[in-house]
Amino acid sequence: MNLGIQGKVALVTASSDGMGKNIATALAAEGVNVVVFARSAEKLQGVAREISKQHGVKALAVVGSMLERADVAHLASEIKKAFGGIDILVLNTGRPPIPLRDAIDELDEDRWDEAYRTQLWSTINVAKTILPSMLGRGWGRVIAVTSASVKEPMSHHCLSTVFRAGITAYMKHLANEVGAHGITVNCVAPALIATPHRTGSAAYTPAQTEARSKLTPLGRMGSPEEICGTVSFLASMQAGFITGSTINVEGGMLRAIV
Ligand SMILES: NC(=O)c1ccc[n+]([C@@H]2O[C@H](COP(=O)([O-])OP(=O)(O)OC[C@H]3O[C@@H](n4cnc5c(N)ncnc54)[C@H](OP(=O)(O)O)[C@@H]3O)[C@@H](O)[C@H]2O)c1
């Protein structure tokens, strides 16, 4: 299917690795020029080089943190210089504090502050800086990566659930406010996607990873490509009448009917 977005420009945040990198690559495969943004300079520049080489699109790497106002202001000015503006904004973030804990065990104020900043503030900081420049273009797509835990809280994911619910509410406000400008605003809510940190040792033991893969009717973890396809669809012309929504990508782990 031709998604109708060839030649558009996308910013994908938190994109030196994992889902962000995969989403930027998937959009580039549709002929979209991409801006990647994360803190690890060398890795990020490698991602941009690889995307450009593989897909023949323009790929700009801007190094910085989503948490820092000055870095995001620099990002906006680099986008303006290179492309004049963007059409597609993908708000992916770094992960919440580890180890993951239940609500009753989340007693440390520093972890709450960190989770607020890395999940919710980082998303708002980028959206509030970049979105105003999308308003005059008559067409746009904003897509945030949240978590299926927003729909059904998962054990130990309290910090993720609370602030991603905040992102979901923020995105709904934006959807209501910018629809008249031809901009749709949606969330993709993953769970059990086998990106490097899920398969590595940071958050789960191998036994926990094994147990988690059995949580879905499909009996496996999801692949990064499976989340990219959903983001690319929401970015497409065909998704123009979907806004203010969340699409879950969690292999049927959520057991509710609606
Ligand atoms: N995998 C799943 O099943 C799943 C489920 C629900 C939600 N999620 C969420 O989806 C997001 C992506 O997951 P992932 O598995 O792709 O994570 P990942 O592999 O750890 O990648 C995280 C990316 O975020 C970047 N990043 C971190 N802090 C940043 C900052 N302050 N500013 C800019 N970039 C920053 C990192 O790059 P630098 O270090 O270079 O900055 C890296 O590129 C995470 O928030 C994760 O919690 C994942």
Q: Whose CA is nearest to atom 35 of ligand 1?
A: 14
Atom of ligand 1 nearest to the CA of 40: 40
**Alpha helix locations (H) across 30-121?**
41-55, 69-83, 109-115
The pLDDT of residue 194 is 86
Section 182-200 average pLDDT: 84
| pLDDT of 72 over the 60 cut | yes
84: Cβ below 6 Å to ligand 1?
Answer: no
Using DSSP, state whether 189 is helix, strand or coil. Answer: strand
Identify the band that residue 146 occupies on the pLDDT scale cut at 50, 70 and 90. very high
Mutate to test the pocket of ligand 1, among 195, 209, 230 (most ligand atoms within 8 A of CB): 195
Section 233-240 average pLDDT: 98
Q: How far is CA 227 from the centre of its chain?
A: 10
Identify the band that residue 196 occupies on the pLDDT scale cut at 50, 70 and 90. low
Instruction: Note every long-range contact of 38-44, with CB atoms under 8 Å and residues 24 or more positions apart, other chains counting.
Output: 38/13, 38/14, 38/63, 38/64, 39/63, 39/64, 39/65, 40/16, 43/16, 43/17, 44/15, 44/16
191: Cβ below 6 Å to ligand 1?
Answer: yes
| pLDDT of 40 over the 90 cut | yes
2: Cβ below 6 Å to ligand 1?
Answer: no
Q: How many whole angstroms separate alpha carbon 258 and alpha carbon 252? A: 12
Structural domains in the chain plus CATH codes: 9-192+227-245 (3.40.50.720)
Mutate to test the pocket of ligand 1, among 39, 72, 188 (most ligand atoms within 8 A of CB): 39
Ligand 1 centroid – CA 208 distance (Å):
20
66: Cβ below 6 Å to ligand 1?
Answer: yes
117: Cβ below 6 Å to ligand 1?
Answer: no
Strands (E), 204-245: none
The pLDDT of residue 214 is 86
Identify the band that residue 203 occupies on the pLDDT scale cut at 50, 70 and 90. low
Ligand 1 centroid – CA 236 distance (Å):
23
Give Rg (Cα) of the chain: 17
Q: What is the mean pLDDT of the chain?
A: 94
The pLDDT of residue 201 is 46
The pLDDT of residue 195 is 77
CB 227 within 8 Å of CB 249: yes
CB 178 within 8 Å of CB 135: yes
pTM of the model: 0.96
Q: Whose CA is nearest to atom 28 of ligand 1?
A: 94
Percentage of residues in the chain having pLDDT higher than 90: 86
H-run or E-run covering 12: strand 9-13
| pLDDT of 157 over the 60 cut | yes
